[in-house]
Structure 1
Amino acid sequence: MMDDYTLPFWIYLGVVTVFVGGAMKRIVASHLSAAPTLVAWLGATVLVERLWAFCLPAVLLLALLAFACCLYSARTGPPPTNLPAHGKAVFITGCDSGFGKATAKHLDSLGFEVFATVLDLTGDGARDLQRTCSSRLTLLQVDITQPQQVHQALLDTKAKLGLQGLWGLVNNAGVCVNFGDAELSLMSNFRGCMEVNFFGTLSVTKSFLPLLRHNKGRIVNISSPAGDQPFPCLAAYGASKAALNLFTNTLRHELEPWGVQVSTILPSSYRTGRSSNRAYWDQQHKQLLQSLSPALLDEYGEDYVTEIKDLFHSYASQASTDLSPVVQAIVQALLAPQPRPRYYAGPGVGLMYFIHSYCPFSLSSWLLQRLFVKKKLKPRALRKEGLEINLNLLNNNNEEKLQ
């Protein structure tokens, strides 16, 4: 029976096999949760079974897949033991609150010597770190957009470390200073996001790289899925994180000969900083309305801008307050013998990237629009246009009836 099939047929089957095998490898590497992984395996099995039904029994195919799973499990074996934290120094930016503050506390409890930067040494975050952490933790007041402050932090860190060297750099400091359509966002918002999220991180990384190369240490950059996927109303923030992601990936290749490992953390939605503060969103909303020209505000409508503000506040208030997945991902990136290039920290991120990588772009885009900021209103000009079209259609129908 198999002699009846031509060479192109077998080439086609070979291409399908390579595709499915590559997909399985990406799925396993993505470290998705059990349910999506199982669904993906079953889906791939059904796909191959439908294509090969006339030349390979489905039972045999399942047996082959099970055998491949066994081989993979046997090859990977038990996870290797993490490196010891004792005697290792880590520099963390943006520790006033959120991921930075939680990470500084946890790393200090593990025995790291932590250098934590804050914007305000007298603020609540700094006082909390001083009160709850050991004497090993050093607080430094640093605005990463100010080169002089970054350089001074480097001098202070080197002075305290001496010959010990720096093991890890965690670039956590970041801002999201805009919400709304790209046309509605000020140029200062785009520049503000780039200044902190990209240029500030770049400045810190370049300054501390000699210390990291000396120790063959680790760089961990906290990024966002918005840097890879087109989240609505986050153009300024997403563009800055996209620049950070590309820089991180390039740095990973360049530092490999030096023995420095570079990882990206991609968190899901978490309630950090001022994100759940209604007063913060009201202030952002007020500033946005004041900055828009009368013509642009008329075309979009104040109710359209207000709806976006309410949606962002609602989304942020429902975000998780348990920051432990992100903190644990940072620990793994610092202490795993072979850290991953990317860590998906939090529920749904791995699945989101799987859909983004393997499903049609239209599906990924539709999910982002439906799950992130679920707008109900159109811009006012489009609503007027739609109303005029409906009125014209109604008038035409009435004229046809009269005729």
Structure 2
Amino acid sequence: MTLFSWEAGLLPLGVTMVLGGTALYKFKKSQSRTVSSPAVLCHSALLCLWGAYCFSSLSVFWGWTLFSLACCISLAYSTSQEMLPVDGRAVLITGGDSGIGHALSKYLDELGFTVFVGVLNEKGSGAEALKKSCSKRTSVFQMDITNPAQIKEVQARIAEKVQHTGLWAVINNAGILGTIGDGELLPMNIYRQCMDVNFFGAVEVTKAFLPLLRKSRGRFINVSSMAGALPMKHFAAYSSSKAALTMFSGVMRLELKKWGIKVALVHPAGFKTNIGGTSEMWVKQEKDILENLSPDVLEDYGRDYLRSSTWRLYQNFSKSPTDFSPLFTDILHGILCKNPSALYTAGVFSYLWICLFSYFPVSVFDYIAHKIFLSNPLPKALT
């Protein structure tokens, strides 16, 4: 190996500046709001350091070979991440009454998209707020995703509106949390409700709008949850339904590739939305659980255990972040990127948790989860 020389370092520095400038120009030209200049500069700096190492520590042949390979990979990646212009592209968002869907509808409207919003109650306050605050590019439709007739009607109306421009993206966002608590304590109707909305509803919407996306070669963005990627205590019904949506997204990504349709899955971490409900709703849910428990199960768990666990979770929901910008950045990237990622993990430590669950022994994940997640008092029979 030879010592580092500035002459050797100038060549990779010059090439990196050209590549970095080209990538930055592409990102600027594509009007991307998801890739920042610092990220491009950091990428270029890493390439420069790699080039300096190759030319200073390796032979001329291997230095040129490895650095050229890195340049080709870098340029190919930069090109694949190029963002398409908005150009009034039409998108459909489900679950726009409140929370993420409501805020996302406003966000995309401000960016210049043509936005179709499906809501559970067209006469509700959320729908009325969208009609007042958004531009004429945004249309609000009555669409309960558990009602096939309403989905079919909205599909026909949207097909008529986009017959010349096409529908570019469908964002399956609508979802419910349902009642939370130990899986044994949840009534079966809670499991069915979560599956009906979080999974079967999304499947129904996907099947209905696939013909429109085949014409545009657009994409589906399915909003799942971290709870659908890894096990979380007290979320048996919700997690199961989101896990089903996660697997469905993966299968559709493979099957729709031949049609040129992209499918992206989003695993948001905890964000404060209306899905957590109000304190009154939690009181009602607790009452429903107690009324459906058999005497022997209630005796084993005890009322104090149920009340303590549910209210600790409610307090945790109230402390969740309210800034949706990390999530919206990922969704926008999924909508406009030429080659969107198959998976987006938005939120604090979300990707770290997935890596921990996927690559570490289960015993390690279980230990950390028990230590970090809320610890509840033991059931009555175990005290």
Match of 2:112 in 1: 111
Is this contact kept in 2: 1:232–1:369, CA < 8 A? no
Match of 1:75 among 64, 70, 73: 73
| TM-score, length of structure 1 as denominator length | 0.76
Deviation at 1:239, TM superposition (A): 0.8
Deviation at 1:74, TM superposition (A): 6.4
Match of 1:199 in 2: 200
**Structure 1 SS opposite 2:252:** helix
Match of 1:235 in 2: 236
Task: State the alpha-carbon separation in 2 of the partners of residues 69 and 345 from structure 1.
Answer: 33
The one-letter code of the counterpart of 1:206 is K
**Structure 2 SS opposite 1:135:** coil
For residues 122-161 of structure 1, the C-alpha deviation after alignment (integer angstroms, 9 at most, x for no partner) is: 2221122112110010000111001101101101111222
Matches within 5 A, 1:382-401: 382-383=382-383
Cα RMSD after superposing both structures: 2.2
Task: State the alpha-carbon separation in 2 of the partners of residues 68 and 279 from structure 1.
Answer: 63
**Structure 2 SS opposite 1:331:** helix
Task: State the alpha-carbon separation in 2 of the partners of residues 117 and 70 from structure 1.
Answer: 49
For residues 306-360 of structure 1, the C-alpha deviation after alignment (integer angstroms, 9 at most, x for no partner) is: 1111111111011011111111111100001110000011110011111112211
Aligned residues: 321
For residues 89-136 of structure 1, the C-alpha deviation after alignment (integer angstroms, 9 at most, x for no partner) is: 101100011111111111111111100011112222112211211001
Match of 1:176 in 2: 177
Deviation at 1:365, TM superposition (A): 1.9
Deviation at 1:69, TM superposition (A): 10
Deviation at 1:370, TM superposition (A): 2.9
| TM-score, length of structure 2 as denominator length | 0.79
- Does residue 378 in structure 1 map to residue 378 in structure 2? yes
Structure 2, unpaired ranges of 5+:
1-38, 40-56
Change (3 A) 1:349 1:239: same
Change (3 A) 1:286 1:136: same
Match of 2:351 in 1: 350
Matches within 5 A, 1:250-399: 250-275=251-276, 277-375=278-376, 377-383=377-383
The one-letter code of the counterpart of 1:382 is L
The one-letter code of the counterpart of 1:189 is I
Match of 1:29 in 2: none
Change (3 A) 1:311 1:216: same
Match of 1:161 in 2: 162
Structure 1, unpaired ranges of 5+:
1-33, 35-58, 384-403
Match of 1:53 in 2: none
Matches within 5 A, 1:118-157: 118-157=119-158
**Structure 2 SS opposite 1:167:** strand
**Structure 2 SS opposite 1:127:** helix
Change (3 A) 1:275 1:340: same
Task: State the alpha-carbon separation in 2 of the partners of residues 73 and 380 from structure 1.
Answer: 63
State which drifts further: 306-315 or 167-176.
Answer: 306-315
Query: Percent identity at matched positions?
Result: 39
Task: State the alpha-carbon separation in 2 of the partners of residues 369 and 230 from structure 1.
Answer: 11
Q: Mark the structure with the bigger radius of gyration.
A: 1
**Structure 1 SS opposite 2:181:** coil
**Structure 2 SS opposite 1:184:** coil
**Structure 2 SS opposite 1:183:** coil
Deviation at 1:185, TM superposition (A): 0.5
